[in-house]
Amino acid sequence: MTGRMRGIPEYPEGLVYRPDVLDEAEERSILGLLDEVEFHEVRMHGQVARRTVRHYDLDYGYESWQLVPTDPLPEPLRWLRHRCADLAGVAPEELAQSLVTRYPPGATIGWHRDAPMFGPVIAGVSLLAPCPMRFQRRAGDSRYVYEQELVPRSVYLLGGAARSVWQHSIPAVPHLRYSITFRTLRNPERWLPATPVTGGG
């Protein structure tokens, strides 16, 4: 489905979409946890976005383009990371950054590719309001487009060209939505502390 997007419809290679990854009880339990989360503003180029975010494990400085260690992913959310890792075919620890985004009615995220310090696989969980996720890529004078409806309790994976070539965006929808994204790192050794050596004197 490409809705009203202008361009040549094409499926983004590397996009995997799975509805019904969570059941309703699981969604409710996560929403209960998110009620307690303190969300932070996103300020880019001096503009405060309507969506708010909470990073875990590594925080992304929207202005600095650096990753800095932050609070660990809350234990009651770790099974979700594990499930996404299984879908993505990576170890849970490889999903080294978690981001919860809260989209109140009218909030959006504009066209972008995720930052280059993140790795080749990104997983995204959707909760509450359904919304379209839009994709575009340009080649010469042509614009290729795709629209994927994200239903609540679904997971998408961005790999291959869907991650590295295509841009994506989320338009405004009339009801509250949350997304939880888990990202791999391109250079884990640059950002993660070395595994501590244990057992010594």
Ligand X SMILES: O=C(O)CCC(=O)C(=O)O
Applying CB under 6 A, the residues found at the interface with ligand X are 99, 101, 109, 114, 124, 168, 170, 179, 181
What single-letter DSSP state applies at residue 94? Answer: G
Q: Which does 181 bind (CB under 5 to 8 A by kind): Fe ion, ligand X, none?
A: ligand X
Of the pair 85, 131, the CB lying nearest ligand X is at 131
Of the pair 29, 167, the CB lying nearest Fe ion is at 167
Only one residue has tokens 């888990």, namely 182
Token reading at 142: 């042509």
Judged by CB under 5 A, the residue of 77, 114, 127, 156 near Fe ion is 114
Please list the helix, strand and coil fractions of the chain in percent, rounded to the nearest 5, in that order. 20, 40, 40
Of the pair 2, 167, the CB lying nearest ligand X is at 167
CA 97/CA 73 separation, integer angstroms: 9
Of the pair 116, 142, the CB lying nearest ligand X is at 116
| Cβ proximity of 179 and 122 under 8 Å | no
Minimum CB separation of residue 89 from ligand X in Å reads 20
Task: Tell me: does residue 57 bind Fe ion (CB under 5 A).
Answer: no
Element (H, E) at 75: none
Residue ranges in contact with Fe ion by CB under 5 A = 114
